Amino acid sequence: MDYTESFLEEYLESFDRLKRKDRLQSSLPLPTMSEIKNLTVSLMALFFPGQRETMDKAVLKLAVSESYHKASSILMDAAFKAIRYESPDKSQDLCLEEAEGYIKHLTAKLPEIRRLLKLDAEAGFDGDPAARSVHEVILCYPALHAITVHRVAHELFREGLPIIPRMMNEIAHSQTGIDIHPGAEIGESFFIDHGTGVVIGETTVIGKHVKLYQGVTLGALSIPKKDTLSETETKKRHPTIEDNVTIYAGSTILGDITIGHDTIIASNAWIKDSIPAESMVITARPEIKVRPIRREE
């Protein structure tokens, strides 16, 4: 239609004008969210292969091998794109070699990750009176999905793979409402109940047997970015949560503080200072007034 052509010209000129400033468009493609989504699907199947017709050892090997090859094939392709995008001057051979390096590293870690995920699933079962079986936890609890994606993304993030770990966690965030930065270090037997609204920041460190409820934030105090960019990238800005800590719904823990081991934090607490081990943290509840209603507010 008539307005189409003039629109396209003007719209494309706007790319030119804006590109000079920050080159939002690179000349090479990044992996897409849907590729990374398929990666997370293959990883779930790799760790929890219980969907095929029978699970005798022979068939299990078939299923696991298939999921492994699918996941590593997607990751290989995506890692190659991400590395090349980040460093357009690297040779293609070098990009591929590095991509294969990430696969090798991750492959070596898979048995350990699976061991951790089984402990996470058991922690979920032990911690929720409504859970009927470990299988229900694996199938139906968003936390296990988010943690599975995180444990893989974290390994790749630590090794320095660009952008893909963040994409992985954002996919899990979109599906579960649980937002875990791939930089966070999380110990074994971790669980989150319900989970919507949980935020776990980049430099968070979490010990063993920690349990969170929905709406918990493990965040940073606000830091102006401009002046401290290189510093903020390395500096610890988020809490350390020691072993056996439980944090109830809606609590906010901010800054590089430490919540000592075997501590319980009640819901809706707001904490900016370290808490000693074996504490019970109770919030003084805001008083409520109950008065007979008169149908207006």
> Does position 20 bind a second copy by CB under 8 A?
no
> What is the helix (H) or strand (E) element at residue 43, kind and residue range?
helix 33-47
Which residues lie closer than 8 Å to 265 by C-beta, 6 or more apart?
245, 246, 247, 248, 251, 253, 259, 271, 275, 281
Binding pattern for the stretch 104-143 against a second copy, x by CB under 8 A and - elsewhere: x--xx-xx--xx--x--xx---xxxxx-xxxxx-xxxxx-
Minimum distance of a second copy from residue 177's CB (angstroms): 5
Number of residues that bind a second copy (CB under 8 A): 149
Minimum distance of a second copy from residue 10's CB (angstroms): 5
Site for a second copy in 53-92 (CB under 8 A): 53-62, 64-66, 68-70, 73, 76-77, 80, 85, 91-92
| DSSP conformational letter for 201 | -
Minimum distance of a second copy from residue 154's CB (angstroms): 14
Find out whether 151 and 180 touch, Cβ atoms under 8 Å: no
Site for a second copy in 192-221 (CB under 8 A): 194, 196-197, 199, 201-202, 214-215, 217, 219-221
CA pair distance 180, 162, nearest whole angstrom: 17
Find out whether 85 and 74 touch, Cβ atoms under 8 Å: no
Among 37, 49, 205, 208, binds a second copy (CB under 8 A): 49
Q: Which of 205, 214, 209, 213 is nearest to 256 (CA)?
A: 205
Site for a second copy in 155-194 (CB under 8 A): 162-163, 166-167, 169-170, 173-177, 179, 181, 183, 194
Which residues lie closer than 8 Å to 211 by C-beta, 6 or more apart?
123, 127, 190, 191, 192, 193, 245, 246, 247
Binding pattern for the stretch 247-276 against a second copy, x by CB under 8 A and - elsewhere: -xxx-x---------xxx--xxxxx---xx
